[in-house]
Chain A
Amino acid sequence: MHIKCSRETIQKSIAGAERVTGKNLSLPVLNSVLLTAQNKTLTVRATNLEVGVEFTIPAQILKEGSVALPGALLANALGSIPDEPEVTLVVQNGVCKITTKTKTLTIKGFTADDFPTIPVIQGGDGFIMSSGKFTQGVKAVFMSAALSDVKPEISSVYLHQDADSIIFTATDSFRLAEKKIKQPKITISHGVIIPVKNIIEIMRVLESVNEDVNFLVTKNQISCASKSMYVTSRVVQGVYPDYQQIIPKSHTTEVILLKQDLLNSLKLSTLFSDKFNKITFNVDPAKKVCSISTKNIEIGETQSNFTATLSGEPVEMSLNGKHLFDCLGSVERDSVVIEFNGPDKPAVIRGLGDPSFTYLTMPLTR
């Protein structure tokens, strides 16, 4: 193999691919990225057997061939020579020699034969969406997915179609986030459950490109392909809970307040909250009172009052401050609507006039 290409492009794609390499697997070749020079393009591939990534970049191919090189090392090495515009890679006897104008490195590689292939999906349902829109959807919900592997269905992000929208959902059964992204021409008949760890990797890869991405879904696998990259991940075979039934249709108390106000007060309050991040809302529309308070026996306590538009019945309830804090990043409006249904029912959080994002959090009972 003998190639010449821009240092920045190859470094970027190697750094992107390297992130998914399997760090602690018994097969050492999985720690590496596979470079394949063929038909005037260079492909950079990495996989941890859950997610597979492939970047295609333009390069001058002087001799076709392929090699697997340690990913982290290669990304760091190429990142440490920022001044060089072009690099040349020559592989001979399993050793890769990288030369620039002023530097020469040699890296020991693995034979490419041992490197796993990445499944290519044929057929199946699909849709086309810009990478930006997809990452926006994932970003809005993924923090709500469960972290433990006990229930694989809910340590995942769930994608399904509702008319002309893709709906992203994640829940750890104490809170739930749902984001609708409008997109014409979707055909996915079944919802697809993607493990949260995998979808974070997909999101990172998609963030690095700005293109229309073709998503394909089958029973076992999801793939995202654009001109310059291909990502695929296993999906969870299971049933996602029919969560729509638990989103309250009405509310007894409604609070509208500025997002920045709430964020600032939450930052303050969490300093004083106990280990359950308990913050207590006190809302009384008749007396025009809206406040949050926290209390920690060992430290002290806080109370913040808000100017807010209030309606409905008075309510006093405790929520997990961290859950509240997490979701505010996904609210794209300046004002936040919080809907209460009494102290032992979940609270609903939305952006004012924005039906695309819904967040549900359960009250703390003790």
Chain B
Amino acid sequence: MTENKILWENTLKELGNELSRANFSTWFKYTDILKQDDGIVVVGVPNEFVKDWLQNKFHKMILKSLRNLCENVRGVEYLVHKVEEKNIPKMEIEKTALETSSELPLADLYVNKEDGLNPRYTFDNFIIGSFNELAFAASQAILRKVGTNVYNPLFIYGSTGLGKTHLIQAIGNQVKKLHPDKKVFYTTSEKFSVDYINSVGQGSKNMNTFKEKYRKYDLFIMDDIQFLSNKEKTQEELFHIFNELYHNNKQIIFSSDRHPNYIPALEDRLKSRFSSGMIVDIQEPEYESRIAILRAKAQANKFFPPEEVLDYLASSVRGNIRELEGLLNGIICQSQLKNRHLTLSEIKPFIKNTSKPKKVLSIKEIVKVVCGFYSIEEDHVYEKTRRKEVLKPRQVAMFILREDFNISYPTIGQKLGGRDHTTVMHSYEKIKGALKNDLPLMQEIDQIRAMF
């Protein structure tokens, strides 16, 4: 990239000496070298007028200058391309009349139909914290070398509302900006399967156009891959597309709400392919990141709440960034309505209303769920038996009671058949330790938790 820039700058210097200043600045403004391909230099020009003129008038001169600097140049081609917006001198908007009138909501509708990317998602408004820095680093590596890096395919997973879509769309937008010649395509697995189904319904000709369509991209991004489970033929098609792209050194990026190995009903050959590149997860943001996110969002809305409000929001709302955003929006809306900043005491009930109410469950109910999961009789848990099939559910139940419901060790012991609190402590520690490297157990507990 920089090599082209230097070459073109030197060419321009040489041309500048030969041409009159007026001629030079009129015709060579906003030109650059887009790419060099086998001795053919492709010069980007701002419009057809310039293209025509350079071709008819200055072609020989340009070719000569390029050859002087770089001997293996055989030809020059001209291509009209979009001038980067920042290069165009901008006029200041007169804001007087505009500010009082609300805008038509056009800004959200700029989704590019050709590549499916929403230009709103960029790295400029992406907040990096320790929760997503690995994913961010991987994305930066991809930007440096699209396709030919070790992070191909990149698989990003994390639970909903943590910024997966933002990150992968930002990669797409950034690649588009840095390498205008690369073809970028963003789709969701749902759109992909609908597209596939439509093409199946319409016979072999459409099937081929479908195959062709997805194989021509240099960067292929697919969001929410977990929805492909149980769609066998769609998976098969994705498998073929994946192979084709991968063998041609094209970059592939996936996102999902869980690790590929835990996506149910997903073909093994797909799972193993997903795992062949880089798998990174996005965790829940920690307190500092939450503060940074809130600040950025508030700034974007030109709303500056007192520090203590942000602090309170960040410390009381965990996890999901989307929820955090929603709460902030609610607060912005309320303060606009009241035309003043809200106090902490006004915000507290607000958060209580919007955050999920935690279910209150009796110990008996919890034990019932656990026993149901392991399909054993509930009574056995309370008995003094150390049979293996009873022991594990009992320990799991103790673990969940302690970990999720914060019930004291003696109470747990008492309620589960009059056991000593040290027994409960032992069970708790045992499960906790096992969780570190026992994958099936981890899944079991996740599934049990989902049932509450």
A246 touches B49 (CB 8 A): no
A320 within 8 A of B: yes
* A320-B93 CB under 8 A given contacts A239-B112, A241-B109: no
A199 within 8 A of B: no
In the complex, the chain A residue whose C-beta lies closest to that of B88 is A149
Question: A363 vs B100: C-alpha distance in the bound complex, in angstroms?
Answer: 9
Residue numbers in A under 8 Å from B52 (CB-CB)? 116-119
Question: A52 vs B93: C-alpha distance in the bound complex, in angstroms?
Answer: 28
In the complex, the chain A residue whose C-beta lies closest to that of B80 is A220
A350 within 8 A of B: no
Q: Within residues 107 to 156 of chain B, which ones have a CB less than 8 A from any CB in chain A?
A: 107, 109-114
A366 touches B110 (CB 8 A): no
Give the residue of A150, A238, A243, A344 whose beta carbon is less than 8 angstroms from that of B102. A344
Give the residue of A114, A174, A275 whose beta carbon is less than 8 angstroms from that of B104. A174
Residue numbers in A under 8 Å from B56 (CB-CB)? 117
Question: A239 vs B114: C-alpha distance in the bound complex, in angstroms?
Answer: 9
User: Interface of A with B (CB < 8 Å)?
Assistant: 25-28, 30, 47, 49-50, 52, 114, 116-119, 148-150, 152, 154, 171, 173-176, 219-221, 232, 234, 237-239, 241-243, 245-246, 275-278, 320, 344, 346, 360, 362-366
* A362-B49 CB under 8 A given contacts A26-B25, A117-B56, A320-B97: no
Question: A238 vs B51: C-alpha distance in the bound complex, in angstroms?
Answer: 19
B90 within 8 A of A: yes
B101 touches A320 (CB 8 A): yes
B22 within 8 A of A: yes
Question: A101 vs B14: C-alpha distance in the bound complex, in angstroms?
Answer: 52
* A232-B48 CB under 8 A given contacts A27-B22, A241-B109: yes
Residue numbers in B under 8 Å from A52 (CB-CB)? 49
State how many angstroms separate the Cβ of B90 from the closest Cβ of chain A: 6
Question: A52 vs B52: C-alpha distance in the bound complex, in angstroms?
Answer: 12
Question: A216 vs B81: C-alpha distance in the bound complex, in angstroms?
Answer: 19
A276 touches B104 (CB 8 A): no
In the complex, the chain B residue whose C-beta lies closest to that of A221 is B48
Give the residue of A116, A152, A239 whose beta carbon is less than 8 angstroms from that of B49. A116
A173 touches B47 (CB 8 A): no
Residue numbers in B under 8 Å from A28 (CB-CB)? 22
A173 touches B103 (CB 8 A): yes
A49 touches B49 (CB 8 A): yes
B80 touches A277 (CB 8 A): no
User: Interface of B with A (CB < 8 Å)?
Assistant: 21-23, 25-26, 47-53, 56, 80-82, 85, 88, 90-94, 96-98, 100-107, 109-114
Question: A67 vs B51: C-alpha distance in the bound complex, in angstroms?
Answer: 23
* A241-B97 CB under 8 A given contacts A117-B52, A117-B56: no
In the complex, the chain B residue whose C-beta lies closest to that of A49 is B49
A239 touches B110 (CB 8 A): yes
In the complex, the chain A residue whose C-beta lies closest to that of B92 is A148
In the complex, the chain A residue whose C-beta lies closest to that of B55 is A117
Give the residue of A26, A173, A237, A239 whose beta carbon is less than 8 angstroms from that of B22. A26
* Chain A binding surface, main DSSP class: loop
Residue numbers in B under 8 Å from A119 (CB-CB)? 48-49, 51-52
A27-B26, A119-B51 known, 16 other contacts, Cβ within 8 Å: A26-B22, A49-B50, A114-B23, A148-B93, A150-B90, A152-B88, A174-B103, A237-B81, A243-B106, A246-B106, A275-B97, A276-B96, A276-B101, A278-B100, A320-B101, A366-B100
A241 touches B50 (CB 8 A): no
Interface centre among B21, B85, B112 (most CB of A within 10 A): B85
B91 touches A242 (CB 8 A): no
- For the complex of A and B, the 5 pairs showing the least CB-CB separation, nearest first, are A119-B48, A220-B80, A241-B106, A26-B22, A234-B47
Residue numbers in B under 8 Å from A234 (CB-CB)? 47-49
Question: A239 vs B96: C-alpha distance in the bound complex, in angstroms?
Answer: 28
* A26-B21 CB under 8 A given contacts A116-B49, A118-B52, A238-B82: yes
Question: A26 vs B97: C-alpha distance in the bound complex, in angstroms?
Answer: 34
In the complex, the chain B residue whose C-beta lies closest to that of A113 is B57
In the complex, the chain B residue whose C-beta lies closest to that of A275 is B96
B97 touches A220 (CB 8 A): no
Question: A364 vs B21: C-alpha distance in the bound complex, in angstroms?
Answer: 49
* A220-B48 CB under 8 A given contacts A154-B106, A238-B82: yes
Question: A117 vs B59: C-alpha distance in the bound complex, in angstroms?
Answer: 14
B97 touches A363 (CB 8 A): no
Residue numbers in A under 8 Å from B50 (CB-CB)? 49
A241 touches B102 (CB 8 A): no
Q: Could you show 28 A-B contacts with beta carbons less than 8 Å apart?
A: A27-B22, A27-B23, A28-B22, A47-B49, A50-B47, A116-B53, A117-B52, A118-B49, A118-B52, A119-B48, A119-B52, A148-B90, A150-B91, A174-B101, A220-B48, A237-B82, A239-B110, A239-B114, A241-B107, A241-B110, A243-B109, A246-B109, A276-B97, A278-B100, A320-B101, A360-B104, A362-B103, A362-B104
Question: A27 vs B53: C-alpha distance in the bound complex, in angstroms?
Answer: 14
B100 touches A148 (CB 8 A): no
* A26-B26 CB under 8 A given contacts A234-B47, A366-B100: yes
Give the residue of A173, A221, A238, A276 whose beta carbon is less than 8 angstroms from that of B106. A173
A149 touches B91 (CB 8 A): yes
B104 touches A246 (CB 8 A): yes
Question: A50 vs B110: C-alpha distance in the bound complex, in angstroms?
Answer: 25
Question: A276 vs B82: C-alpha distance in the bound complex, in angstroms?
Answer: 36
